[in-house]
Amino acid sequence: MLRHRFAAGLLAAASVSAPALAQEAPSAAGFDTSLPLRARPGECYARVYTPPQFKTVSETVLKKAASERIDVLPERYEWDEQTVMVKPASERVVEVVPAQYRWEEEQVLVKPAGEKIEQIPATYKTTTERQLVKPASQEWKRGRGLVEKVDNLTGDIMCLVEIPAEYRDVTHQEVDRPASTRSIPVPAEYQTVRRQVLVKEAEVRKEEVPAQYQTVKVRKLAEPARENRIAIPAEYQTVTRQEKVADGHMQWRGVLCETNATPDTVRALQQALKSAGFYSGPLDGRIGSGTAEGVRRYQASQGMAQGGITLETLERLGVPSAGRATAG
């Protein structure tokens, strides 16, 4: 009974690990039919698949180019007082005919012409760059067709499948037009002042009439407008990608076979898988589909070779095995 149960377990393990076995590349004659060297009678071996190894590579790329910000400091003015004559000194006629005057208007400069600096902000454009995340590869997968027996083992039909490369789009901003300034002229400002102008002097007796003045506030430019340029550093971002460091490969590994697979060993294996969270079935000492699936999931989680209940798996789980069986 143990022999039949073990054979069923090996078939279940083979069906679970079929995707892993499909990664093996066939030889020029069709399949690699070489057997383990220096094998001893009573030992069991299986061709198992060691998955490819990858490492994570981080790369720093430009996210936003360096630029410049311009702060404009406005001009500064001060008020000043000026005395403007609005009526000149004259003579007044005491008798008979008084003097005659007329009014005139005069433009007085109260704010000189200047210029105003206007800031033109920088503009940006978004650039998208396509980066390789995972290169294209080839993978062997199990096909369907003729199956023939070779030394009590089942032959497989393998199909080579092209797996396209994977890319990702990385966007960053760069300066399209840098910040700048432009000058806008500001016209001068004037104030109109009315004053009297003597037209005809008084006759006969005259007396002096003093001049009249008016105080006017005038706004003068104390400090012209200026600009202050502030450098804005570039911004970067880190992009990660997966890079293959080793290809997957097939190799012969010692496995649990009919000779060394005792019910106690299988029960110890089931208990270890249950403790690790990879098996929930009964501890019945039988290698069923549940036990084989638990072994496969445990091997995948540990990055181990997959394709059967290898002695390496038993050692990693802490399960004592019968070791090399004695012939006869």
Cα–Cα distance measured from residue 63 to residue 173, given in angstroms and rounded to the nearest whole number: 6
Per-residue burial over 144-178, b if 16 or more Cβ lie within 10 Å, else e, is: eeeeeeeeeeeebebeeeeeeeeeeebebeebeee
Phi, psi of 268 (to 5 degrees): -65, -40
pLDDT of residue 148: 44
Tokens encoding 77 = 């003015």
All residues at 6 or more sequence positions from 325 whose CB lies less than 8 Å from its CB, including other chains: 42, 43, 44, 257, 259, 260
Tokens encoding 97 = 């005919």
pLDDT of residue 8: 43
HEC secondary structure over the chain? CHHHHHHHHHHHHHHHCHHHHCCCCCCCCCCCCCCCCCCCCCCCEEEEEECCEEEEEEEEEEEECCEEEEEEECCEEEEEEEEEEEECCEEEECCCCCCEEEEEEEEEEEECCEEEEEEECCEEEEEEEEEEEECCEEEEEECCCCCCEECCEECCCEEEEEECCEEEEEEEEEEEECCEEEEEEECCEEEEEEEEEEEECCCCCEEEECCEEEEEEEEEEEECCEEEEEEECCEEEEEEEEEEEECCEEEEEEECCCCCCCHHHHHHHHHHHHHCCCCCCCCCCCCCHHHHHHHHHHHHHHCCCECCCEHHHHHHHCCCCCCCCCCC
For the stretch 269-300, pLDDT in tens is 999 999 999 999 999 988 888 998 999 999 99
pLDDT of residue 251: 62
Cα–Cα distance measured from residue 110 to residue 20, given in angstroms and rounded to the nearest whole number: 92
pTM: 0.33
Cα–Cα distance measured from residue 283 to residue 263, given in angstroms and rounded to the nearest whole number: 10
pLDDT of residue 7: 42
- Positions in the chain whose pLDDT score sits under 70: 1-51, 143-158, 248-260, 321-328
The tokens 């496969």 sit on which residue? 296
For the stretch 237-269, pLDDT in tens is 888 888 887 776 666 666 666 556 788 888 999
pLDDT of residue 14: 39
pLDDT of residue 43: 56
pLDDT of residue 147: 45
pLDDT of residue 282: 92
Whether 216 contacts 281, CB under 8 Å: no
pLDDT of residue 293: 92
Cα–Cα distance measured from residue 180 to residue 229, given in angstroms and rounded to the nearest whole number: 10
What percentage of the chain reaches a pLDDT higher than 70? 73
Tell me the sheet residues that pair with 138. 162
